[in-house]
Amino acid sequence: MSDPERLTGKIRAALAPCSLGDWPTPLERAPALAMAAGVHALWLKREDRSAAPCGGNKVRGLEFLLAGARAGTVFVTVGATGSTHCLATAVHAARLSCAVALAQFPQPETDSSRAVAAACAAHAALVVRAQSPAGLPLAVLVAWRRARRLGPRRWIPGGGAHPRAVIGHLLATLELAGQLAEPPDAILAPLGTGGTVAGILLGVAALGWATRVVGVRVAPQLVANRWRTLWLAWRARSLLASRGIPLSFSPPRGLVVVDGLGEGYGHPTSRGESARRLAADHGLILDSTYGAKAFAVLLRRGTCDVQRVVFWHTFGVPASIGERTG
């Protein structure tokens, strides 16, 4: 057994996540897309294929956030109307005989966000919609209060951005050790609430790789920023240390945050949409809010001067639930 496998086993034994996903997710080489993007080698980490009923990066964190919940627990969480975090939480909580109450704020509508919003309404026990992002705190309060009638409540922060969830993304990164012959120059991922990139950073440090982690900011700076991402990584590291699993970690050196937001969260950008079309021509289906904006950064020469790249493919809402490209 390799060291990363041993570390994964220790972490699973110490934190007892529940089982929602199919691991490891595949790592696929994409030579034609690499050529189109102008890099020497490109791999796709298929986090979109993490679970059959509803995949995507959020399943990694949910295994830790939903663990140990009694049947009937109501998870209260928050996100935009097209939030795949909200949808994944609702779908996977139901598999554990638990329910979900959502507080949501509007985002620009695309086919994809409309489909996810409809699926959220179908899968959640309660949805409280704010008229605007400013109304969100009140919507959260109302959702929290109403959820009391449905069962014992547990809070999950927006995007599932919690140190426990970060550990799920750390495990995803450890999978790369068995999937790549050599460390890549960079791992490129969308940066929303930060948990995914925080876990990748911890994983890269645990593997002893010099790989750069490029987080493409697709949400406002208040939510998606370097400080919060590093804070999540440090908190996850402390949690592991408290369970007797120390990790070496000097994250600031490895993290590069690049702005990909454009007009705002959920607003497609022209660069993102061209990247999305290029990826689609090669069979890679990206969403406008996260994947397309992140992939666009790979196409920007000079911003990200790397040759061997792993792209974190995070959007995994299947057709049965409503995937269409935004």
Ligand X SMILES: Cc1ncc(COP(=O)(O)O)c(C=O)c1O
Nearer to ligand X, 104 or 196 (CB): 196
Nearer to ligand X, 4 or 260 (CB): 260
Closest approach of ligand X to the CB of residue 95, in Å: 19
Nearer to ligand X, 27 or 150 (CB): 27
What CA–CA distance (Å, rounded) separates 85 from 107?
Answer: 14
Closest approach of ligand X to the CB of residue 7, in Å: 21
Question: In this structure, how many other beta carbons lie within 10 angstroms of the beta carbon of residue 95?
Answer: 15
Report residue 171 as tokens.
């495990």
Closest approach of ligand X to the CB of residue 45, in Å: 12
Give CA separation, 40 vs 7, 63, 128, 309, in Å.
Answer: 31, 35, 47, 8
Contact 237, 280 (CB under 8 A): no
* Total residue count of the chain as it appears in this document: 326
Closest approach of ligand X to the CB of residue 299, in Å: 18
Nearer to ligand X, 150 or 285 (CB): 285
Closest approach of ligand X to the CB of residue 196, in Å: 3
Closest approach of ligand X to the CB of residue 233, in Å: 12
- Using CB under 6 A, list all residues that contact ligand X: 56-57, 84-85, 159, 161, 190-197, 287, 290, 314-315
Paired sense of beta strands 153-155 and 74-80, if any? parallel
What CA–CA distance (Å, rounded) separates 82 from 115?
Answer: 8
Find residue 186's DSSP bridge partners. Answer: 212, 309
Nearer to ligand X, 201 or 299 (CB): 201
User: To which H or E segment does residue 44 belong?
Assistant: strand 41-46
Helix (H, G, I), strand (E, B) or coil at 13: helix
Q: State the sign of the Cα–Cα–Cα–Cα dihedral 98, 64, 193, 320.
A: negative
Closest approach of ligand X to the CB of residue 217, in Å: 9
Nearer to ligand X, 22 or 305 (CB): 22
Nearer to ligand X, 84 or 104 (CB): 84
DSSP state of 158: G
What CA–CA distance (Å, rounded) separates 21 from 174?
Answer: 16
Closest approach of ligand X to the CB of residue 141, in Å: 22
Q: Which residue has the tokens 């490891």?
A: 24
Question: In this structure, how many other beta carbons lie within 10 angstroms of the beta carbon of residue 1?
Answer: 7
Nearer to ligand X, 42 or 232 (CB): 232
